[in-house]
Amino acid sequence: MGRIIFWLVIAFGALLALRLVNTAKARSRNGAATGAGSRRGGGGGAMVRCVGCGVFVPGADAVATPRGPTCGDARCLRLGRSDAA
């Protein structure tokens, strides 16, 4: 009986160790991914949604149209200016 418990503890310990390694890896990956983009939070302005395609673009890069901000794509600009598709 003691042997079974011993191996269970070993198995859970191994799983916990693997999990810690994986979360550490994922965190460093996410940190690298968001680290480059986190600067926009400082003064770049909010993200706005393109009324044409629905993609989010920085407010500074958005092109204002009568119907709302667009990503600047020609098709989206057309959609933003009129209802005709």
Site map (CB under 5 A) of Zn ion, residues 10-29, x = contact: --------------------
In whole angstroms, the minimum distance from the beta carbon of 56 to Zn ion comes to 10
Q: Which of 52, 62, 69, 80 binds Zn ion (CB under 5 A)?
A: 52
Report helix, strand and coil shares of the chain as percent, to nearest 5.
55, 15, 30
Smallest CA-to-CA distance from 46 within 61, 63, 58 is with 58
64 forms part of the interface with Zn ion (CB under 5 A): no
Using CB under 5 A as the binding rule, whether residue 48 contacts Zn ion is answered as no
Judged by CB under 5 A, the number of residues near Zn ion is: 6
Shortest CB 53 distance to Zn ion, Å: 3
53 lies in the binding site for Zn ion (CB under 5 A):
yes
Four-CA torsion 30, 32, 33, 37, nearest 10 degrees: 120
Phi/psi for 82 (5° steps) reads -145, 165
